[in-house]
Amino acid sequence: MSLEYSQSLARNSRAASSELAPIASGRKNAWLQRVASLLRTNSSLIVTANEKDMDAAAAAGLSSAMLDRLKLTSDRIETLAKAVQHIISLPDPVGEVIEGQRRPNGLFVSRVRVPLGVVFFIYESRPNVTIDAAALCVKSGNAVILRGGSEAIHSNRALQQVIQEALESEGLPKNAVQLVDSIDRSIVGELLSMGSLIDVTIPRGGRSLIERVTREATMPVIKHFDGICHVYVDAASDEKMAVDITVNSKCHRPGVCNAAETLLIHRAAVPHLLPRLAAELQSHGVELRCCPASLAMISGGKPVTDEDYGTEHMDLIMSVRIVDNIEQAIEHIRRFGSSHTDAIVTDCVSAAMKFEAEVDSAAVMINASTRFNDGGELGMGAEIGISTDRFHARGPCGMRELTSYKFVVRGVGQIRS
Amino acid sequence: MSLEYSQSLARNSRAASSELAPIASGRKNAWLQRVASLLRTNSSLIVTANEKDMDAAAAAGLSSAMLDRLKLTSDRIETLAKAVQHIISLPDPVGEVIEGQRRPNGLFVSRVRVPLGVVFFIYESRPNVTIDAAALCVKSGNAVILRGGSEAIHSNRALQQVIQEALESEGLPKNAVQLVDSIDRSIVGELLSMGSLIDVTIPRGGRSLIERVTREATMPVIKHFDGICHVYVDAASDEKMAVDITVNSKCHRPGVCNAAETLLIHRAAVPHLLPRLAAELQSHGVELRCCPASLAMISGGKPVTDEDYGTEHMDLIMSVRIVDNIEQAIEHIRRFGSSHTDAIVTDCVSAAMKFEAEVDSAAVMINASTRFNDGGELGMGAEIGISTDRFHARGPCGMRELTSYKFVVRGVGQIRS
């Protein structure tokens, strides 16, 4: 029963993606504008649907953080409508000529961006993501199958009605956006087996979900694993900068992937800087877990373990290690880091160049907070996820990362000899 | 026993890739030059090793085509040395700034190309590929594990000695190139399980090998499946061009993936063009398998089946179908094609634009032979394979397709608020 449903979802998406791919951005933007308008005019209906989800989630004992992510208000719906309108202003990646040249035989060869095709997107119980993901996928010419968290099912149904009404009124294929309208978990496994119909799966959520998806998927997966991020304070640096960047990287939003987990500090900077850094971090409520040399200097510090160095705490906890030189800092990052985001604070040009060349992370920050590894901050406009892979997409995934390319070759009858 | 060996291969490669990544192209080019010189000075040793393989292969009854691919002569070694020197002239993809911008807060954000890391390359018994692959991987900053066909083991050992001597004398990490020096097939399975150490597997060879690799691999795979390619002759076209392109696409090298399998012809072009096309193809020895309408016109034609339309014959066999319009041609290509290479021959600008937009193939040819879908012809210099995937790499894979990227963010102390 569910297999038939899964197959129809995947086949419908495949067909819709062929129709959607050649549609120019004017029509896709008109659809986005319509979605924004309908969100506004249907705001109270959506809030009512969301209240059903909120009541059930409260009764089920969800945490206040989870409830907050689930909640939609008229203000939040207005913010969502504005986010959709922002996507109108972003360039359509489809049709972009990535490069082109004329060959010695006169052929014009170009590499042109095309949609990936069909995206299967699995995400948390955050109904705003339903709209974001639909907007990013359709604007980049992809059909999408949305599988939101089960707690958001009523909200997602209401949002999907808005999406559908807009698709219909703008004449876009109605299966460009499909919602898995069931909380039956076997559907996920079935869709993951349909690698010939679905081009990529993007799972967002806990580690166990991502691991399951990676194991079962028969198509490529854009994965988002841990962010074990470092701030390395070099021998010579601006003191205020070192403090600001360390505190911002750790404390601005400790529960996100680009928050720093470990402070590495060059021993030459320790005497004048470590006491100040420790005091600032502690005044922000950070628990410091210290290497033996730093433990002796920091009152209230606890001894650090290798396990700490390799853990994404997602909390106000920071490991501290004094290093002899930049090489030791880089070695530490290689051993314990997750190649997500790593920062150096330095006044020394050659140290900055060395760090940039040898630290193999999705984002390397020179005198800037780790918190800037984010699609919006890096100038991608909006992101559908952050990849911890190296293949295809690395770091924040915007619309361009939802595309492939094809070669277009124009001739006047050339043949190969 | 073999597991230990596989693990040491993968770990050695991982370590070598970290050392190799920051090395600038001057040193990599010096290594390529040394490989070319050593190939020349060791030519007779290599030929002697190759003779062992040739004798064993002849005794085992390999086909003459296989024997020809296995054979090395001093002339072929000279060609190989020249190919290595050609790679010196290609730009190093590592360090290329793909794009960059200054953000409103003053941060400089750039996307910089980096190597993928460790490549596991599985290929046919073609010893020249050993050198090509090593050259392309090392120049693009990747460590590579080479697993050539077992028939070429003595040749590959001799070539690996050249590679090793050059790595040593130029001070590059000796494990940048490792040869699986065993024909034990369990090693392949073990390496495929090591997704945390190996970044990509590239299998070349028969369909069953690629399917096995895809099934077992725990890392991304760049796959190379069928090429079911089409030539569509539109209502209005230059007659000579239509004949030249069709004949070249089918007959130039019928056993390769970018050879055409099916001729689609607009019914308006049939009266003046189909008899001439059929005669030219038949004069080149092509067996024509025809739709009912064309069968009536072509003497010596046989009836075509749907199975023919979906088969990569790799031989002088061509299916012929008369279509009512371009839409029917595109529909045929979508249904039976493999999204590899498809060509239109037309004088009509809007038909060319429609074909380009709606045919979703790795290479779309407008008035040019399908045979041009090849790394060298498309201007990539040299290729390690041709991808039939859409993810990461599509079509010919040159050095750039062996890279990922990282974001480099430079600031003056910016923090996120």
Question: Residue A335 CB: number of other CB atoms within 10 A?
Answer: 10
For residue range A281-336, what is the model confidence (pLDDT) as tens digits? 999 999 999 999 999 999 999 999 999 999 999 899 999 999 999 999 999 999 99
**Crossing angle for the helix pair B25-41 and B74-89, nearest 10 degrees?**
170
Q: Which residues touch B355 (CB under 8 Å, ≥6 apart)?
A: B232, B326, B329, B330, B342, B344, B346, B364, B366
Range list of β-strands (E), B204-351 = 229-233, 260-266, 287-290, 302-303, 317-323, 341-345
Pairing of strands B317-323, A143-147: unpaired
Supply the pTM of this predicted model.
0.93
Query: Which run of H or E residues covers position A287?
Result: strand A287-290
Interface test with chain A among B233, B251, B372, B403, by most A beta carbons within 10 Å: B372
Residue B65: the pLDDT is 86
CA distance to partner chain A, nearest, from residue B180 (Å): 24
Confirm whether the ipTM is greater than 0.90: yes
Residues in chain A closer than 8 A to B412 (CB atoms): 241, 367
The full 3-state SS of B1-70, as one line of letters, equals CHHHHHHHHHHHHHHHHHHHCCCCHHHHHHHHHHHHHHHHHCHHHHHHHHHHHHHHHHHCCCCHHHHHHH
For residue range B166-195, what is the model confidence (pLDDT) as tens digits? 999 999 999 999 999 987 889 999 999 999
Written as one string, the DSSP assignment of B87-108 is HHHSPP-TT-EEEEEE-TTS-E
d(CA B236, CA A293): 82
DSSP state of A262: E
d(CA A84, CA A79): 9
CB pair distance less than 8 Å for B411 and A368: yes
Of B107, B365, B415, the CB nearest to A245: B415
Residues in chain B closer than 8 A to A358 (CB atoms): 21-22
Pairing of strands A287-290, A143-147: unpaired
Note the helical H segments in B359-406: none
Of A101, A114, A413, the CB nearest to B241: A413
List per-block mean pLDDT (blocks of 10 residues) for chain A, which spans 417 residues: 91 96 96 98 98 97 92 97 96 96 96 97 95 97 97 97 98 98 89 96 91 92 93 97 98 93 98 97 98 96 97 95 98 96 98 96 98 93 89 96 97 96
CA distance to partner chain B, nearest, from residue A48 (Å): 33
Query: Which run of H or E residues covers position A233?
Result: strand A229-233
Residue A266: the pLDDT is 98
CB pair distance less than 8 Å for B367 and A109: no
CB pair distance less than 8 Å for A416 and B199: no
**Can you read off the two tokens belonging to residue B137?**
């991987």
CB pair distance less than 8 Å for B378 and A200: no
Q: Is B200 exposed, middle or buried (0-12, 13-18, 19+ CB in 10 A)?
A: buried
Pairing of strands B341-345, B229-233: parallel
Of A334, A404, A412, the CB nearest to B367: A412
Written as one string, the DSSP assignment of A394-411 is -EEE-SGGGEEEEEEEEE
CB pair distance less than 8 Å for B379 and A101: yes
The verdict on A116 touching B (C-beta cutoff 8 Å) is: yes
Residue B164: the pLDDT is 98
The verdict on A251 touching B (C-beta cutoff 8 Å) is: no
**Can you read off the two tokens belonging to residue A303?**
């001894």
Residue B1: the pLDDT is 60
The verdict on B215 touching A (C-beta cutoff 8 Å) is: no
Residue B233: the pLDDT is 98
Residues in chain A closer than 8 A to B409 (CB atoms): 363-366, 368, 372-373, 378
CB pair distance less than 8 Å for A378 and B109: yes
| Cα–Cα distances in angstroms (integers) from residue B414 to residues A229, A253, A283, A368, A371, in the given order | 17, 16, 21, 5, 10
Q: Which residues touch B68 (CB under 8 Å, ≥6 apart)?
A: none
Residue B244: phi, psi to the nearest 5? Answer: -60, -45
Residue A171: the pLDDT is 97
The verdict on B368 touching A (C-beta cutoff 8 Å) is: yes
Q: Which residues touch B299 (CB under 8 Å, ≥6 apart)?
A: none
Of A357, A371, A411, the CB nearest to B368: A411
Which portions of chain B are predicted below pLDDT 50?
A: none
Q: Which residues touch A263 (CB under 8 Å, ≥6 apart)?
A: A230, A231, A233, A246, A250, A277, A281, A318, A319, A320, A321
Residues in chain B closer than 8 A to A415 (CB atoms): 244-245, 247-248, 252, 368-369, 371
Nearest residue on chain B to A259, alpha-carbon basis: B416
Beta bridge partners of A201: A120, A221
**Can you read off the two tokens belonging to residue B295?**
């069968």
The verdict on B371 touching A (C-beta cutoff 8 Å) is: yes
Residue B182: the pLDDT is 84
Of A48, A188, A199, A26, nearest to A127 by C-alpha is A48
d(CA A297, CA A320): 11
- Domain A229-372, CATH: 3.40.309.10
Q: Which CATH fold would you assign to the domain B2-225+395-410?
A: Aldehyde Dehydrogenase; Chain A, domain 1 (3.40.605)
- Domain A2-225+394-410, CATH: 3.40.605.10
Residue span(s) of chain B under CATH 3.40.309.10 come to: 229-372
Residue span(s) of chain A under CATH 3.40.605.10 come to: 2-225+394-410
**How many C-alpha atoms does B154 have within 13 Å on its Cβ side?**
16
d(CA B342, CA A197): 21
Of B352, B394, B416, the CB nearest to A372: B416
Residues in chain B closer than 8 A to A251 (CB atoms): none
Question: Residue B73 CB: number of other CB atoms within 10 A?
Answer: 12
How far the first Cα of chain A sits from its last, in Å, is 55
**Can you read off the two tokens belonging to residue B256?**
């390769």
The verdict on B284 touching A (C-beta cutoff 8 Å) is: no
CB pair distance less than 8 Å for B378 and A409: yes
Of A321, A347, A340, A336, nearest to A267 by C-alpha is A321
d(CA B194, CA B215): 14
CA distance to partner chain A, nearest, from residue B168 (Å): 22
Residues in chain B closer than 8 A to A379 (CB atoms): 101, 103, 109
Residues in chain B closer than 8 A to A378 (CB atoms): 103, 109, 407, 409
